[in-house]
Amino acid sequence: MGRLSAALLGATGIAGQQFLPFLAGHPYFELKVLSASARSAGKLYIDAVKWYQEYYIPNEFVNMPVISMEEALEKADFDILFCALPSEIAAEWEPKFAEKGVTVFSDAGCFRKEKDVPVMIPEVNYDHINLLTAQRKNRNWKGGIVKNPNCTTVAAAMALAPLKKYGIKRVFLSSMQAVSGAGYDGVPSMAITDNVIPYISGEEEKVEFENLKILGDLDEAEGEVKLLPAVFSASCHRVHTLYGHIEALFIEFEKEVDIDDVKNSIRNFTSKPQQLGLPTAPKVPVILTDDPFRPQVRLDRNAGEPERCKGMSATVGRVRYDHDEKNRIKLITLAHNSIRGAAGNLVLTAELAKAEGLI
């Protein structure tokens, strides 16, 4: 029983690079097509890429040829596609691949608001993957499009997933985001050294909408997700860290909650990917810490076991009542923006789709 064949679009960019360790020697998927812009096409990967990672290019990809997107589309001789393109370009290319029968797992922001497009964090909303069926029917596609959420959405949604059962009424979120979220050249050192930038264009709207969608309930009959009936309000800020988005959450519930029960719900949270034993599913998807000084970005962003799941666990700490109002809690949540918030999460999503027989 062979592996599915896979392609990677935007393979040379900073986002694309980070897929490689997750796909090297993957048990389900064989990454056999690396695609990038015309400038890189025709070169070997090692010659085309400006490699910015603290680890080496996995051996199997070093001398793989890079092809253009046009060529990749023409052939389309692969089952799935990971897309690490900028949103505007992705919006043009993804449907073309979906039409040709390829299921696209995409990190790009486009289409997340489409009703029949799932935005996935496998532990949080595994059943949303079934939207693919509706999507294929609606659009008459054999392939399809599955989305990663925005990286800032992820840390919040993973902390909130175990708490959804208490009835979330309102959430205030204040983020402290790493520079890598803006891409390699996105934040000049002159801009962020000894500084905080209090605005990230478009981010707050994404975080607010995507959390409600991901935490919402799938309505299979309608082929859509019913948004969580809560109010989500975000304020997003850039701080001087390299990787890892950390967020302060102020949560109001429909009714009173017991703080120890809340902590236990987080501590014991586990989900479908763990039950299925998916290769990129960390043993503990949300780690609860009792140390008030944790999570810390540098110390906890790479949480996740076993080794290949480093960076796949979110870490939640400082879970406490807000004064003596028992229907309100405050907490801190952290997730690795370019692993759980990007490459790692998307590979896990593809694993789920495979396990569910959707690809």
- The residues of the shown chain that bind its own copies, judged by CB under 8 A, are 14, 52-54, 172, 174, 176, 179-180, 184-199, 201, 208, 231, 233, 235, 237, 239-242, 246, 248, 250, 292-299, 302, 317-318, 322-323, 325, 328, 330, 332
Number of CB atoms found within 10 A of residue 194's CB: 5
Token pair for residue 196? 């905080």
- Under DSSP, is residue 326 helix (H, G, I), strand (E, B) or coil? strand
Among residues 56 and 222, whose Cβ is nearest to its own copies? 56
Is 240 in the active site? no
Distance of CA 97 to the CA centre of its chain: 21
Q: CA distances (Å), 81 to each of 7, 22, 107, 132, 296, in order?
A: 5, 14, 11, 15, 34
User: In whole angstroms, how close is the CB of 243 to its own copies at the nearest point?
Assistant: 8
Among residues 140 and 201, whose Cβ is nearest to its own copies? 201
User: In whole angstroms, how close is the CB of 59 to its own copies at the nearest point?
Assistant: 11
User: In whole angstroms, how close is the CB of 250 to its own copies at the nearest point?
Assistant: 5
Among residues 185 and 261, whose Cβ is nearest to its own copies? 185
- Under DSSP, is residue 110 helix (H, G, I), strand (E, B) or coil? coil
Q: CA distances (Å), 216 to each of 119, 127, 212, 213, in order?
A: 11, 11, 6, 5
User: In whole angstroms, how close is the CB of 194 to its own copies at the nearest point?
Assistant: 5
Is 151 in the active site? yes
Token pair for residue 67? 């092809």
List 83, 151, 236, 309, catalytic entry:
151
Question: Phi first, then psi: what are they for 270, rounded to 5°?
Answer: -150, 165
Among residues 41 and 48, whose Cβ is nearest to its own copies? 48
User: In whole angstroms, how close is the CB of 203 to its own copies at the nearest point?
Assistant: 11
CA angle centred on 43, ends 88 and 75, rounded to 5°: 60
List 110, 128, 236, 245, catalytic entry:
245
User: In whole angstroms, how close is the CB of 62 to its own copies at the nearest point?
Assistant: 14
Q: At what angle do helices 151-160 and 203-214 cross, to 10 degrees?
A: 40
- Contact between 309 and 281 under an 8 Å Cβ cutoff? The reply is yes
Cα(19)–Cα(7) distance, integer angstroms = 11
Instruction: Please report which residue ranges of 40-178 form alpha helices under DSSP H.
Output: 45-48, 59-62, 69-75, 87-99, 122-125, 131-139, 151-160
Among residues 122 and 317, whose Cβ is nearest to its own copies? 317
Among residues 56 and 101, whose Cβ is nearest to its own copies? 56
User: Which residues have a catalytic role annotated?
Assistant: 151, 245
